Amino acid sequence: MKKTAILLILLLLAPCSVFAGKKREITLAPDSTSTNIFRMSADIATRGEYRDGGVAAEEGGKDYAAFISGRVMLTLEYEHKWFSMRLTPRFSGVWGQGNNGTFSLFEGWFQAKSRQGLFAKIGRQELSYDDERIIGSDDWTMLASSHDVVKLGYDGKYHQVHAIVAYNQNLEKTIGGTFYIGGSQPYKTMQTLWYHFEVPQIPFGGSALFMNVGMQFGEPDNYKTIYQQLTGGYLCYHHEKYRAEASGYYQFGKHEEGLKLSAWMVSGKFTCAPTESWMFSLGYDYLSGDKYFAVPAKGALGLVRHTVIRGFTPLFGSHHEFYGAMDFFYLSDYVGGFTPGLQNAYATLCYKPIQQVSLSAEYHFMATGTNMSTYHRGLKMPLGHMAVAEVAWEFAEGGKLAAGYTYMNGTETMQRLKKTDKPLHLHWVWLAIRYAPKFLNIGW
């Protein structure tokens, strides 16, 4: 009874710590005798953005945008011996939004786990694997990404195996309940198998991934289900002062137009941190693409007919992290859904003058993955140069204030693919604040 009373008092006091000037963690320290553990944390983020140029403006309008967006998340976690669960409601939206933003459940799952490492995790959950190039949380977006899945697997010291299964519906129906489009995820069904190993003596690690994704197109009374597969792997050599990463994936199956899909991508990255204050990295990505627009198998008047789609799609990855901060590639489409692929050569330099402050500069040279002269005579492959500068200040544990500026000098190829007749001098400025306090940790 006494422990119950203490718990109730702490729960009532916990919200007060959110508004305090510094982080306060109320703890009845969990120890080896604790059979129950309860944690509470929050994640509050606000970001203002100004964008100038880059996409075709509406007729009579200006080619710029300015807005402020935000999100609030509250996470509740409970553990009891071999059982655990998490509940994370989330509110997100743009300031002044007419429909008052979006209130949803970001995570809601329970998990059973044995001492030998076997587990079963069921419900809405965040998925993040390897460098998040294919499956990631995409945390930059205020909505982020979570999946309704059953995940079974084994987590050992040097080996991990995860099997993931999803089956989505729009509504609970007894009639006509097989068509799914426009939901929280683009797929109707998804099956994934992931294996990871670590060799700490080297130190070296690697992963193998296989996915089968089924997506539906059409109308409730006239639709089709298209399946595509992806397989590949990720390798990482992680030394104390440097890190070398490489990945490669092959995509096959069917495209939504009914054509055969055969696409691939490779990437490589080297990172070095010679001191605690300095870090630099070099990298290159290649994603295959098409020379022509996707044309239905029956053909179309005036378009070149081809039998294979070669434009690679990085599925559910954290695209903002890899292909330029402006998100022109794989988050926004080219004109007509064209998929010419992408080459991305980049360099990054980071400097921390003090522990709480970091400065970074990044350069990207971007080009299509295919020869553009087949699309339009005289066009070349380069898309442009992009420069990114960011500064961040960690003002408290779990708290960060950051700002960034991105400039891109686009080419004629970029103009045509993005359907704009303006010179492509593109600017993007943002200012963000985020506070993620952990203010309750109880064991009994």
Does residue 218 or residue 394 have the better pLDDT?
394
Task: Tell me: pLDDT of 418 over 90.
Answer: no
Tell me: the pLDDT tens digits for 36-56? 899 999 999 999 999 886 554
Instruction: Between 374 and 368, name the one with better pLDDT.
Output: 368
Whole-model pTM: value is: 0.86
pLDDT of residue 237: 96
pLDDT of the residue at 424: 73
Q: How many beta carbons lie within 10 A of that of residue 197, not counting itself?
A: 14
Q: Which of 188, 103, 86, 85 has its CA nearest to residue 142?
A: 103
Q: How far is CA 287 from the centre of its chain?
A: 17
Whether 129 shows a pLDDT value over 70: the answer reads: yes
Q: Which of the two residues, 25 and 49, has the higher pLDDT score?
A: 49
* Residue 398, pLDDT above cutoff 80: yes
Q: What is the mean pLDDT of residues 73-86?
A: 95
Residue identified by tokens 């921390």 is 352
**351 has pLDDT over 70:** yes
The pLDDT, as a whole number, for residue 338 is 75
| Tens-digit pLDDT profile for residues 228-243 | 999 999 999 998 899 9
- Quick one: average pLDDT of 428-442? 93
| Cα gap 407→50, rounded to integer Å | 12
Distance in angstroms (rounded) separating the CA atoms of residues 399 and 317: 25
pLDDT exceeds cutoff 90 at 402: yes
CB 121 within 8 A of CB 109: yes
321 in helix, strand or coil? helix
Can you tell me the mean pLDDT for 266-289?
Answer: 96
Determine whether 106 is exposed, middle or buried from the number of CB atoms within 10 Å of its CB (0-12, 13-18, 19+). Answer: buried
- pLDDT of residue 405 exceeding 80: yes
Give burial (CB, 10 Å; 0-12/13-18/19+) of 419: exposed
For residue 289, pLDDT beyond 50: yes
> Is pLDDT above 80 for 18?
no
Query: Is pLDDT at 20 greater than 60 in this prediction?
Result: no
- For residues 327 and 201, the model is more confident at 201
d(CA 362, CA 212): 35
- Is the pLDDT reported for residue 300 higher than 80? no
Mean pLDDT, the chain, whole residue set:
85
Q: Tell me what pLDDT residue 296 has.
A: 53
Question: What is the predicted pLDDT for the residue at 295?
Answer: 53
Band (59; pLDDT cuts 50, 70, 90): very low
pLDDT given at position 14: 42
**d(Cα 326, Cα 250) in Å, to the nearest integer?**
26
Q: Exposed, middle or buried: residue 249 (CB in 10 Å: 0-12, 13-18, 19+)? A: buried
Contacts of 3 (CB under 8 A, 6+ apart): 444
263, pLDDT greater than 50:
yes
Between 137 and 421, name the one with better pLDDT.
137
pLDDT at 60 over 60: no
Q: In whole angstroms, what is the distance from residue 415 CA to residue 409 CA? A: 11
Identify the CA nearest to 430 among candidates 46, 95, 50, 44. 50
Q: What percent of the chain has pLDDT over 70?
A: 83
d(CA 174, CA 189): 19
